[in-house]
Structure 1
Amino acid sequence: MSMLTRTVPALLLAVATGAALSGCAAAAPQTEGLSIVASTNVYGDIATSIAGELATVTSIIDSPAQDPHSYEANARDQLAIANADLVIENGGGYDPFIDVLVEGSGTAAAVISAVAVAGLDEGEAHAEEEAAEGDDHGHVEGINEHVWYDLHIMGDVAEAIAAELTALDDANASVYAANLEAFLVELEAVEEEAHALAEQLGGGTIAATEPVPASLLAELGFDDETPAEFSEAIEEGADVPPLALQQVLDLIASGEVRLLAYNEQTASPETERVREAAESAGTPVVSFVETLPDGEDYLSWMRTNIDAVAEALAA
């Protein structure tokens, strides 16, 4: 889902006004080493894994308490971007406020888009055009932009981060390479855990209130049979067509659904109704979120999600 909740001109005006009102007091603090700004703490954590102590990492959205879909950028965010050496975004229409901030700040920072790294950036320009026209939901049709739940793509993103850091700070290239290798080794171990669980569980049908964890659940061998109209409406923050809602309820009532994947950060009356239907049918409900929970790093979080699925289906 898009995290842009008002028009681009309005956001630029708010950022510019905030900077003007704060005057000299708004100057960003001086930091040693490289400065990295990530749209969410998911990418901030991966950047920290690669950069170690050689960079200061700022995650604009850094708590599950912050709703990614209604986030409003501010002057502090603009200043962070302006002083960044590297900016990391999800892309795909998920966090278009980053592009607005990059353009508005005039920064020369390198920008990594996870969706672009994954080769899924077709349609990105269309999403940016919609955002500029005031469309609050920049979701790019035809792709699942929630790529941080794809373990393979995150390995590619980590490699892209290491490459950019090396280009910015070649003197520490060996450090970035060693940190990348350590991250990839751990990531491969998580992938192996997912594959082992997939063999154990034997696949089957699932439903989801949103396709946020779809890639991870596919890695675990499941097929998401949620009607597309339902998923699209929830992602866009639009009214769910009654027929689409009924189709989801019928799917759950069929007894074929092994679990319901529930996005805790975008609950609505429709998703709550689906959750209640699953609970009434005895279908396990597994909660997922879009940002890194407190006390977790990216790798431990993915393990936690995998364990949650295993525990739900073992009950």
Structure 2
Amino acid sequence: MQQKHTWWTVIVPLVLIIAVTGFIINRGLAQQQQGTTQKSIHIVASLDFYGEMAQGVAGKYASVSSVIQNTKVDPHDYEPTSDVAKEYAAADIIISNGGGYDKWSSQFAQQNSGAKAITVAQLTGYKTGGNEHLWYKPSTARKVVLAVERQLIKIDPQHKRQYTTNAQRYLAKFKGLRRLERRARQQLAGKRYLATEPVYDNMLTALGAQNDAHAFAEAVDAENDPTATEIRQWQTDVQNHTVAFVINNPQNSGRLVKSAVAYARQHGVPVVNITETKPAGETYIQWQTKELRAVLKALQQ
């Protein structure tokens, strides 16, 4: 006997098939779209403190690689490896100091035409022959953070609100350092100092202090020996205590530098060590705060 099929015995299975098929298609499209929008953004920074700033803005939406992140490395002598070149070639955003400080980074950025290039020298108005240690300018961090925010929004406008929020949260952490800088400005105004290299000059001059050994410091920075006249002037300033302290970059351990620092210590002039690169385990703010406090402590000796 032949079974009779009512209309619902045919329609209901058909509806279920259509619904399941639609669900599978929609889910596949959603996953495909999600895979596209969540493509990882990669940022490469020549120096680790710029990388830290970038990560502060990007949060979970980008990965950040920093090339130089060791105080034992002299950035002036650094030579990038093939792995570093590959990092730059795959980067979406590249942060270079510029000003001739990290030429290799600037060159890699030029070769990757598809990446957004951020050059700190351009952000800070650097002019040829100026002091290239730009991270010691009090205004640099804010300019870098806002530049990273702009570039991330261009690449990934979907997360604009998160990038802006992250940037403001990161900058808010500088309140304590800014207060310390204001106090330091009062104490450093008119003070004279010596330096083995001009590493910290951007900070100290912004706070009103004056380097009495520009020629000595510039010679060392250029990997040349100071002249006999420059050495005698250094010794005279130390002997007469016309300077409040000496800034020493421990990453440069040349014989004449060691001798100049020892001479200062022998004559009771405080020596403050200032590194070009951020010590391991410290944030940029912690590093900057520690060094400025060390300078203020030297003033009391």
Fold shared by both chains (TM-score > 0.5): yes
CA 1:203–1:185 in 2, change beyond 3 Å: closer, same or farther? farther
1:109 partnered with 2:110:
no
Task: Name the counterpart of 2:252.
Answer: 266
1:186 partnered with 2:180:
no
Contact persistence 2:195–2:248 (CA under 8 A): yes
Correspondent of 1:99 among 86, 93, 106: 106
Alignment RMSD = 1.7
Shift of residue 311, structure 1, vs aligned partner: 2.4
Correspondent of 2:40 among 33, 49, 69: 33
Worse-matched range after superposition: 286-295 or 264-273: 264-273
Contact persistence 1:155–1:187 (CA under 8 A): no
Query: Quick one: distance in 2 between partners of 1:218 and 1:232?
Result: 15
Shift of residue 273, structure 1, vs aligned partner: 1.4
Q: Match of 1:189, as an amino acid?
A: G
After superposition, the C-alpha distances for 1:209-238 in whole angstroms (9 at most, x for unaligned) are 111111222344321111x32222111101
Give the number of the structure whose alpha-carbon radius of gyration is greater: 2
Query: Quick one: distance in 1 between partners of 2:150 and 2:219?
Result: 38
SS at the partner of 1:221? coil
Task: Name the counterpart of 2:58.
Answer: 51
Q: Which runs of 4+ in 1 moved over 3 A?
A: 200-203
Number of residues paired by the alignment? Answer: 264
Contact persistence 2:188–2:209 (CA under 8 A): no
CA 1:312–1:114 in 2, change beyond 3 Å: closer, same or farther? same
Correspondent of 1:145 among 132, 144, 165: 132
Q: Match of 1:209, as an amino acid?
A: T
Query: Mapping of 1:1-315 within 5 angstroms?
Result: 33-104=40-111, 106-120=112-126, 122-123=127-128, 141=129, 143-200=130-187, 203-226=190-213, 228-315=214-301
Identity of aligned residues (%): 30
TM-score (norm 2): 0.83
Gap runs ≥5 in structure 1: 1-30, 124-140
Shift of residue 202, structure 1, vs aligned partner: 5.4
Query: Quick one: distance in 1 between partners of 2:39 and 2:280?
Result: 26
Gap runs ≥5 in structure 2: 1-37
Greater relative CO (CA pairs within 8 A, separation 6+):
1
Shift of residue 172, structure 1, vs aligned partner: 1.1
Worse-matched range after superposition: 240-249 or 182-191: 182-191
Q: Match of 2:296, as an amino acid?
A: A
Shift of residue 116, structure 1, vs aligned partner: 0.7
After superposition, the C-alpha distances for 1:102-123 in whole angstroms (9 at most, x for unaligned) are 345x451111111110111x44
